Structure 1
Amino acid sequence: MIADHQLIVLATLAMSLLLFVTDALRYDLIALLVVLALAAAGTLTPREAFRGFSDPAVVLIASMYVFGWSVNRWGIAEVLAQRLLGVGRRTAAPSESWLAARVTLASGLLSSVLSNTGIVATLIPVLSEISRKHLIPASRLMMPLAYGSLLGGLLTLVGTSTNLAIDGVLRDHGHAGLGLFDFVHLGAILLVVGSLYFLWFGRFLLPSRRVDESLTEHYRVPQFVSEVMVEASSSLNGCTVGELDLLARHELTVIGIVRGEGGALVVPGPQNRVSEGDVLVVQGEPQSLVTLRDELGLVERESVDVEGTRLFSSDVQLVEAVVPAGSALVQRTLGQSDFRARTGLNVLAIAQHGHVRPGAMAERRLVVGDSLLIQGHRNDIARLRRSRQLIVLDEVLTRHLSSRAWITLAWLVAVLAAAGVGLLPLSVAALSGAVGLVLTGCIRPDEARGAVDWSVLVLVGGMLALGIAFQKHGLDVEVAGVLLTLCQGIESPHFLVGLFLCATVLFTQATSNVTAGVIMTPIALSVADALGRDPMALVIAVLSGASLAFMSPVAHQANAMVVGPGDYRFRDFVRVGTPLTALLVAIEVVIVPLLWPMHHIV
């Protein structure tokens, strides 16, 4: 009979999975609810429930975020990527397939020691420039970027937070844990195979979109932008833009004022005054535009010239931007973040999950991967780019490494070397390096705090608490017994590795890779213990399976971030990611038991 506390753990797991799948709440909030449920029910003591937040894995993840910020701040990842991809060289247009393979390899190598979402954020503008320069559809490059970053996480222990969470579970169960380069040979094989996949079979599956389509065409701007002339009799004459309450009531925005003989375009602020003869470029729903003209007696002009000087000029740009993981805009509306007042920029349209949604933008919650069409002065756009709250997809300049870039590299190499030779525990070495970056002026203390994605730390800490509950109340042993019964005595290492690989892969597509890793690792350890075999092959199957999040745009934030720039649909990930997942699983089923034999433990 299942004990009461076991029922509580299972109910908590089931509820968290339901919330994950339905995306009803943020991942970090779900993790906190898990901790509170287990502690409030007495299933875990407060010390046990909160132990995950003090795990060395949490400290290590936070430290690597600081390194990632410094690496991106000083252009290290960008310069390395440009060198690897040949950006700036005067060469003939590269082959699409070779370029896709190089993108996969480059993003994988960079993601081996840095955050995969950080690398994706850095390389999206680089690939957008390559796409424009060589007329290669961005959809042929962005998915290899995301997949390569996921595979790169299998090269080192610090490659992804999932690896570190699994390492924490191993140590909680009394095992030695994982070394920095314990599975680099497997990761290298999978990364090379992933690169070859896009060189050959995968290139036929990648979609081709937006080659000749302009930004205004893609975002359907002409449907939601109109021009009206201010007559002498209009009540708008003499008002400032900030005083136009009627426009706000109808959810209309003045995104430009065209005035003077030269037709100069002004991106208005609240203080700009409307005068007779001005042409207002107004954005909003078509019905609202009709209502505005009827109520104020405005004269409609011919359809706005979206490809001419009405929306952009020598000083006013139209750019596309993507919401990255860790942005302060995530789960907030443009209204809540006061985006226009803070940045001086207009958002003309938003695309979510590959679908353009131009209307009612101020109240739409932004999620990772949303694409925004932004209009504004060049200086304001440059400031937005430096804020790193959005990835701006315009021209990427060739950069050179500064002295602080070299200092950052030196600290990173020192951390990896100290941990690799066993001089310091990895968490201690990483924290020492992060502090060193602050002391040497590579990053300010406030920047270090802002660099950390606290939601990931909360997710890892909360899910580790669920893993502790699994172990404490024997659920890992119970599930292991059920699995062994269903397998009817089959003890083939290849079969068991395949079983855990497939289960973890499916788990990852539906929830998060951290959750999949933390739940499946104790079960893998219990199965190996019941069979009296070395557990490492099954642990590696779980660890690698949690990174094969290829079949859904929401399976990993790296996938979500490329949806907009690549103009992908959900079916694109299924079509491209499923064969790649099957190929890598088949390879692992063969080689993992060979690299980590499941010897009987005496």
Structure 2
Amino acid sequence: MSPVITLLIIIAAALVLFVSERFPIPLVALSISVVLMLTGLVTPAEGISGFSSPATITVLAMFVLSAGLQKTGIVRSLGELIIRFAGGNQYKGLAAIMLVAGGLSAFINNTAVVVVLLPTVIILARRTALSPAKLLIPLSFSSMLGGLGTLIGTSTNILASDVANKLGYGPISMFEFTKLGVIVFLVGGVYLLLFSGRLLPERRGPREERTESYHLRDYLTELVILPDSPLVGSTVAQCRLRQLSDADVLEIIRAGSKLEQPFADERLQAGDVLMVRGKVQTLLRVRRSAGIKILPEVQLRDSDLVADRMGLLEVLISPTSHLIGRTLEEIRFRNRYNATVLAIQRHGEAIREQLSKNRLAVGDALLIQGPSAVLEMIQASPNFIIVGEVPHETLRREKTPIALGIIIGVVLLAALNVLPILVTALAGAVLMVLTGCLEMSEFYEAVRWDVIFLLAGIIPLGLALENTGAAASIAQYAVGLSSVLPPLLILGLFYVLSMLLTEMISNNATVVLLIPIATAAATDLGLNPQAFIMTVMFAASMSFLTPIGYQANTLVYSAGGYKFTDFFKVGAPISLILIPITVYLISVFWPL
């Protein structure tokens, strides 16, 4: 079998695994590099070159720099400014959200921008009597558009520069495409400002009860322990109710008073009223053997789950959470946090059954009940993003000028070609720790290791495309189109292909896969390869059609209560508007 055919089979298998999400994407990426080495398509040195690639190291450093801006309160201060500027006006609020998110995303990781601004946006929605769904997709989209302003705006830009440099076209400079990025941001921003409010539904009201949004009324039940029940005398931890019905005890009412948590060691008594989380049908099947009486339907409100020292908290699983891929049972959530997860919302659907068996994913929304002191501790955990309220977080605001100075130094030294961006970014990351803007533990936590391993795994794929001649072979199909299509339309085809591919796999994988092919096609057609590099890079960051193509979309998915189609409803028009504008302007700024 020829090396080209072998590589195409590997790419096809990788695409299937990326789309199916059966295995974690970083694992798939690393597997690609291993298979490439085993088949001899790359040397061992080339197979691990992704770990030492300037793109990988630069992206790692940028995560740390982004964390420095977060921990010194710069991003939070801008979020507070949004609320003050809006003054209850939804259009002013939406404009401020897009400007701040887009401006920040030009210099720090856009996912980090969404993480920090998300609670602020939900607070703004409540103050303007808007559904959060009207604002969260614009937050995500504007952060993606803003990332196209500078080289360091996204990991995709940095990777595209590295791939282009390895192919012999030289690196991309800091502000080389800023003019185009600003135009694209303004066009996209005007569209979102004028039409997103009309196209987006009110999935969750500004003050909607969380018991309603998670449909808990169908899953919480009150029951009474009868005098002859075998549960009498046993502790909550020992009782067989959970084994019999997979039900969790959330509350005990005895003689008209609620018992305080923790009550795992509390012995149950006849006449105790228990509020439990579980399916009513299952409880009905075991009521005789358990000696319980099911009370009439609970008319449940948030206040019913809150007491003097108890509260409710809604959180999202953060992109850097150590809980990703693990179940509540594996992490012993209740014992670890002394709190109960009432429900999980994923991709717009509430999960209320077998919660302890579900593996957590980025963007999952958890509704948690627990003591107020425990909820404050959860708010401070980097594993979670707080929804609807500003988290209690200690910020080093006195270090703000230092952090800003470091970022400005990183950008200017790279922009003026005094030092490569790799060197300035690494130096800036080290200075963030040396100056006290970050602690060393926060340095480690800031790095998105899933992205680092993704980059390290897929970079050898670009080398294999060149080594085997596969890029040139595939490019011949584009050359064949030149007899029937003008160069501008061929450029547009690469744009559309890149945009669609990034929805199915990842933006970084798209860049590594398509830039070698696009530049080979440009060379064979006698066109400007730089224009094709920019086309693939810009299109790979235009993930507007689905909530799964870009992590910023995934984060707002559950928080806004969106359905999958909501992203397409808003994203398809903006994509159709930006395709001709971006392709035409690329041909103007980088003449074909």
Same fold (TM over 0.5): yes
Name the counterpart of 1:560: 554
Residue of structure 2 aligned with 1:395, choices 378, 389, 392: 389
- For structure 1, list consecutive stretches of 5 or more residues without a partner in the other structure: none
Moved more, 195-204 or 538-547: 195-204
Provide the residue aligned with 1:526 in structure 2.
Answer: 520
* 1:41-80 → structure 2 map (5 Å cutoff): 41-80=39-78
Q: Verify: 1:454 aligned to 2:438, yes or no.
A: no
Q: Sort the Cα spacing of 1:46 and 1:397 in 2 relative to 1 into closer, same or farther, 3 A.
A: closer
SS at match of 2:380: helix
Match of 2:197?
203
Please tell me whether the aligned partners of residues 74 and 400 of structure 2 are also in contact (alpha carbons under 8 angstroms): yes
Match of 2:425 among 421, 430, 436: 430
Deviations 1:319-343 (A, max 9, x none): 2211222322222221122222211
Secondary structure at 1:242's aligned position in 2? coil
Q: In the alignment, what sits opposite 1:595? A: 589
How far the C-alpha of 1:404 sits from its partner, in A, is 2.6
**Aligned-residue CA RMSD (Å):** 2.1
Identical pairs, percent: 33
Hey, what does 1:134 align to over in structure 2? 128
For 1:555 and 1:487, the matched residues in 2 are separated by 31
Q: 1:593 deviation in Å?
A: 1.0
Are the counterparts in 1 of residues 119 and 388 from structure 2 also a CA contact under 8 Å? yes
Within-5 A mapping of 1:353-502: 353-396=347-390, 402-488=397-483, 490-492=485-487, 494-502=488-496
| TM-score of the aligned structures, taking structure 1 as reference length | 0.93
Letter in structure 1 aligned against 2:468: H
- For residues 541-586 of structure 1, the C-alpha deviation after alignment (integer angstroms, 9 at most, x for no partner) is 1110001000011111111111111111111111110110111111
Q: 2:344 matched to 1:350?
A: yes
Match 1:253 to one of 248, 264, 279 = 248
State the one-letter code of the partner of 2:51: F
Q: Give the whole-Å Cα distance in 1 for the aligned partners of 2:299 and 2:401.
A: 48
Q: Which moved more, 1:97-106 or 1:372-381?
A: 97-106
Alpha-carbon distance in 2 for matches of 1:472, 1:313: 66
Which whole-Å CA distance do the structure 1 matches of 2:424 and 2:51 have between them?
19
From the superposition, tell whether residues 190 and 224 of structure 1 become closer, same or farther in structure 2 (CA, over 3 Å).
same
SS at match of 1:282: strand
Shift of 1:436: 1.3
Distance (Å, rounded) in 1 between the aligned partners of 2:574 and 2:302: 44
Query: Residue 326 of structure 1: SS of its match in structure 2?
Result: coil
Aligned residue type for 1:436: L
Question: Contact 2:80–2:120 at 8 Å: present in 1 too?
Answer: yes
Alpha-carbon separation, structure 1, partners of 2:302 and 2:404: 45
Q: Which residue of 2 aligns with 1:240?
A: 235
Alpha-carbon distance in structure 2 between the residues aligned to 1:74 and 1:249: 50
Matches within 5 A, 1:52-201: 52-83=50-81, 85=82, 87-88=83-84, 92-95=87-90, 97-201=91-195
1:460-491 CA distance string (max 9 Å, x none) = 11111101100111111111111111232645
> 1:349-402: CA deviations, max 9, x gaps?
111110112111111122222212111122211211211212121322799861
CA distance in 2, matches of 1:16, 1:124: 33
**Secondary structure of 1:387's partner?**
coil
Structure 1 residue 269, shift from structure 2 partner? 4.9
Residue matched to 1:27 = 25
Shift, 1:43, TM fit: 1.1
**Deviation per residue, 1:22-58 (Å, 9 max, x gap):** 1221110110110111101111110011111210111
Amino acid at match of 1:449: Y
SS state of the match for residue 394, structure 1? coil
Contact 1:281 1:304 in 2 (8 A): no
- Deviation per CA, 1:172-221, whole angstroms, max 9, x where unpaired? 11222111111111111111111100222333211222225311011111
Contact 2:211 2:302 in 1 (8 A): no
Task: Give secondary structure in 1 for the equivalent of 2:186.
Answer: helix
Decide whether aligned partners of structure 1 residues 76 and 249 sit closer, same or farther in structure 2, where only a CA change above 3 A counts. farther
Deviations 1:116-151 (A, max 9, x none): 111111111111111122210111001001111111
Q: Secondary structure of the residue that 1:167 maps to in structure 2?
A: helix
* Partner in structure 1 of residue 11 of structure 2: 13
Q: What amino acid maps onto 1:188 in structure 2?
A: V
| Aligned partners of 1:269 and 1:344 also within 8 Å | no
Are the equivalent residues in 2 in contact too, given 1:323–1:391 (CA < 8 A)?
A: yes
Q: Is the 8 A contact 1:57 1:165 kept in 2?
A: yes
2:328 matched residue in structure 1:
334
What secondary structure, in the 3-state scheme, does the structure 2 residue paired with 1:327 have?
A: coil
Other-structure match for 1:286: 280
Gaps of 5+ in 2: none
Q: How does 1:542-557 map to 2 (within 5 A)?
A: 542-557=536-551
The amino acid across from 1:35 in the alignment is S
| Paired residues of 1:553 and 1:573 also in contact (CA < 8 A) | yes
Q: Structure 2 vs 1, CA of residues 241 and 410 (structure 1 numbering), >3 Å: closer, same or farther?
A: farther
How far residue 279 of structure 1 moved from its aligned partner, in angstroms, is: 2.3
After superposition, the Cα gap between the structure-2 partners of 1:431 and 1:125, relative to the gap in structure 1 and judged at 3 Å, is same
Question: What's the CA shift for 1:345?
Answer: 1.6
TM-score by length of 2: 0.95
Displacement after TM superposition at 1:406 (Å): 3.1
